[in-house]
Amino acid sequence: MTKSALQIARAAYQPKLPKALKGAVKVQEGAPTQSVADQEAIKALFPNTYGMPMIQFVEGEATAFPAINVGVILSGGQAPGGHNVISGLFDGIKALNKDSRLFGFILGPGGLVDHNYKELTSDIIDEYRNTGGFDIIGSGRTKLEKEDQFEKGLEIIKELGIKALVIIGGDDSNTNACVLAEYYAAKKCGVQVIGCPKTIDGDLKNEMIETSFGFDTACKVYSEVIGNIQRDCNSSRKYWHFIKLMGRSASHIALECALQTQPNICIVSEEVEAKNMSLDDVVTYIAQAVANRAAQGNNFGTVLIPEGLIEFIPAMKKLIAELNDLLAEGSEFAMIKKSAQREWVISKLSQENAAIYASLPEGVARQLTLDRDPHGNVQVSLIETEKLLSDMVAVKLAQWKEEGKFVGKFAAQHHFFGYEGRCAAPSNYDADYCYALGYTASMLIANGKTGYMSSVRNTTAPAEEWIAGGVPITMMMNMERRHGEMKPVIQKALVKLDGAPFKAFAAKRDEWAIETAYVYPGPIQYFGPTEVCDQPTKTLALEQGK
């Protein structure tokens, strides 16, 4: 494979490790834990993995470890740093015993069920160190939740002599990792399951998991491009750029990018929901900012829109919930001719939802009826919210123009940033964090743990001072309604409106809305001074009072 000079230099980068992981470790156990909510229900569902203590690794004395075989799975959407989790895991099990072996299951959890795997040897691992992407083994969204899947997995686990499985995924995948850990523990199969917190969306975090990996790099890539657009927009002064950013549910990415680039407008879905805003309220808010800038002669600007917005507008949320039932498996919708689908949907919805659905532009209405993902979620990345909002803003401004309330011009450009950031080469932060997460997973395995998520904390300090350990996954769970049933799931971390990142944004947004206060962060730097290369996200720094 031909490589660029940067790729060659980057391959040689040695990720930093917390001090405690640099030699032999020992386990320091904390107090027993309990789930964030619904303790009795979670305890009953996870009798073998509930209540385990928090774990921290401290320096210990070298002991001999037998060689172990480990399996690894990448689950869900790509996130920068996945390859470093795997290389950290590989180096960790090799440090314990050089004869340890690592097997990667191909294309996500489905690889375990279908017995599709490959051994990850040192020459393969070396090809992928510090690179973006999940292509070393591929990823997939198969949901591991049924007993027959667990049993099929067990067959190959036994055949390969695998002692532990590491599942690298988001909240849903780690929930499933915990269910699997419980199942194997209950059956006394002798197979451990460890999770690793992944997702660019940044919504798998809590007191013990500071951030999910990939969030840092993805936000830096998007912020670079938003900055470039802002410079373009400030140069030609003729467009409003509507920029949708990934983040299926939470608005962390949009908020972080706003903190990095200071756009004119950033919509935060969690606020829209809390204020019970309608679609028209959101449109009016944007149109007013456009009109205010136009009054100063500035017919240009930037609007950041979180991908999940549509589901947070209370009226739209109700509509989507009814659509989900209507389009559930086996519904007659699939049999209806494409041209008649809209009318069919309108005829089946409740009066209130039918009126909202009928008012939506054709494209968005169709996008809302597309297939759900395997977890039953609307695929919000396919909904062109940025176009929907700019079209509606244009209509409102035209109306205001007639009424003499708008004197400027309005021309829009649309962008969606998501896939371009998910496989970027990891920033130093993600390269180090991921490598440490993988290495920590190997130590959890060596110490016989199961049902734990690898945890690396204190990451706004130098890597030497990072704290590595494990968090029982049951500790992060609560009961939520999914597909009409109450299920144990890891609680999703949405943007907190009383949290420091949102407050920092809210304190400045009125100023950014009227002024041209753009910041142009530039590309991620991998080599150079620490203040340029090793900064965490603003979200994390603010959350940690830095």
Footprint on this chain of ligand FBP (rule: CB under 6 A) = 76-77, 79, 170, 199-201, 246-248, 307, 380-381, 418, 422
Strands (DSSP E) found in 389-541: 412-417, 452-457, 467-472, 477-482, 485-490
Nearer to ligand FBP, 18 or 197 (CB): 197
Nearest to 3 by CA among 130, 117, 161, 155: 130
Which is nearer to ligand FBP, 76 or 153 (by Cβ)? 76
Distances (CA, A) of 414 to 14, 69, 306: 39, 48, 13
Evaluate whether 169 touches 175 at the Cβ level (below 8 Å). Answer: no
* Rounded-to-integer distance, Cα 139 and Cα 134, Å: 6
Rounded Cα–Cα distance for residues 212 and 80 (Å): 11
Which of 82/536 has CB closer to ligand FBP? Answer: 82
Q: How far is the CB of 536 from ligand FBP (least distance, A)?
A: 19
Question: Alpha carbon 152 to chain centroid distance?
Answer: 28
489 alpha carbon, distance to own chain's centre: 16
Shortest Å, Cβ 492 to ligand FBP: 10
Rounded to the nearest 10 degrees, the angle between the axes of helix 279-295 and helix 500-514 is 50
Nearest to 469 by CA among 165, 170, 73, 194: 194
We find the least distance from the C-beta atom of residue 211 to ligand FBP, in angstroms, to be 13
Residue with smaller CB distance to ligand FBP, 140 or 301: 140
Give 80 or 472: the residue with its C-beta nearer to ligand FBP: 80
Q: Are strands 240-245 and 301-306 parallel, antiparallel or unpaired?
A: parallel
The distance of closest approach from Cβ of residue 286 to ligand FBP in the complex, given in angstroms and rounded to an integer, is 22
Minimum distance from CB of 422 to ligand FBP (Å)? 6
User: Which C-beta is closer to ligand FBP: that of 248 or that of 538?
Assistant: 248
DSSP string, 205-255: --SS----BTHHHHHHHHHHHHHHHHHHHHHH---EEEEEE--SS--HHHH
Task: Count the Cβ atoms, other than its own, within 10 Å of residue 373.
Answer: 16
25 three-class SS: strand
Give 479-536 as a DSSP string. Answer: EEEETTEEEEEEPP-PPPTTSHHHHHHHHHHHHHHHS-------S--SSS-HHHHS--
208 token code pair? 């013990």
Nearer to ligand FBP, 55 or 540 (CB): 540
User: Any idea which residue has 């203040």 for tokens?
Assistant: 531
Q: Closer to ligand FBP by CB, 96 or 389: give it.
A: 389
- If the CB atoms of residues 104 and 301 are measured against ligand FBP, the closer one turns out to be 104
DSSP state at residue 31:
E
CA distance 120 to 124: 6
Shortest distance (Å) from residue 75 CB to ligand FBP: 7
State in angstroms the smallest separation of the CB of 496 from ligand FBP.
Answer: 19
Distances (CA, A) of 363 to 320, 358, 360, 369, 370: 15, 12, 8, 10, 11
Enter the DSSP assignment of 198.
Answer: B
Please give the structure tokens belonging to residue 321.
């919930």
From 201, 216, 391, 432, active-site residue: 201
- 8 Å CB contact between 73 and 105: yes
User: Which tokens hold the place of 6?
Assistant: 């940067």
Is 99 catalytic? The answer is no
**Given the complex with ligand FBP, which of 378 and 436 has the nearer CB atom?**
378
* Least gap, CB of 420 to ligand FBP (angstroms): 11
Quick one: which of 201, 203, 228, 168 has its CA closest to 435? 168
Residue listed under structure tokens 């002692």: 163
Residue written as token pair 């180096």: 91
Neighbours of 282 (CB within 10 A): 23
CB 201, min distance to ligand FBP, A: 5
Smallest distance, Å, CB 66 to ligand FBP?
A: 34
485 φ/ψ angles, rounded to the nearest 5 degrees: -125, 150
Spell out where 289-343 has E strands: 301-306
Active-site residue set: 201
